Amino acid sequence: MRFKGKVAMITGAASGMGLLSAQKLAGEGASVVLTDVNAEAVSVAAEEIRRNGGEALGIPVDVRNYGQIEHAAAAAMEKYGRIDLLLNVAGGAECRVLNCDKPFHELPLEVIDWGLDVNLKGVVYCCRAVLGTMIKQQSGVIINLGSVTGVEGSAGAVNYSAAKSGIIGLTKALALCGAPHGVRVCCVSPGPVLTRPGMANMKTRLGRAAEPLEVVDLILYLCSEKAAFITGSNYLIDGGRTCGGMD
């Protein structure tokens, strides 16, 4: 029960690694505030955690909307009185999500804007909404989900690469802001993860994609007291992909 008495707010929590993180945190004693743009799915996810004996709230949130983020943070404070952990998991490559398979210089501006708003600005918004609370508490952990694409770049995902690279810089800057107040900030940058079938085709040195739990285990370690001296760092979990030489 590493997280007994802790309160965690998770974005993108209705599916994938966001949902798995919420389930694992609740299973280890945390009260979890699940947020997601899919209102029905996030409500069902929170209800399932409660049925399994956990403590959970499900709140519809579009991370492009600061008012909705602020509302979720306020609901967490009203219900639980604190926010100890923030996991920024919401995101996705805009060309895939919006089904727009075009080179960067031909992308509609609305597709570019969606990608930057969800993958970078949404993370900035969420951090802004909770950092003051954590500073007042003199404790807290923020985990931002990056991507191997933010380290190695991608000609087919220029916008996504830029956003995820920006998250690494955001993590370092916020770590500097939070350090005097006991607030840690880390970035976890996965390579391919089996949250969807297409990821299995992305090459790694280990010859496979990660299981979602492998990434979530790293996230939870960084949230725990065992990582109390870690802040400002980006953690690649990419099966050796960034060692170089991958076709």
Nearest to 8 by CA among 54, 63, 68: 54
Q: Give, in order, the Cα–Cα distances in Å from 111 to each of 64, 69, 165, 190.
A: 14, 22, 18, 23
Helix or strand or coil: residue 60? strand
User: Which residues neighbour 59 within 8 Å (Cβ) at sequence distance 6 or greater?
Assistant: 33, 34, 35, 42, 71, 72, 75
Q: Catalytic residue numbers?
A: 160
Q: What is the DSSP letter of 5?
A: T
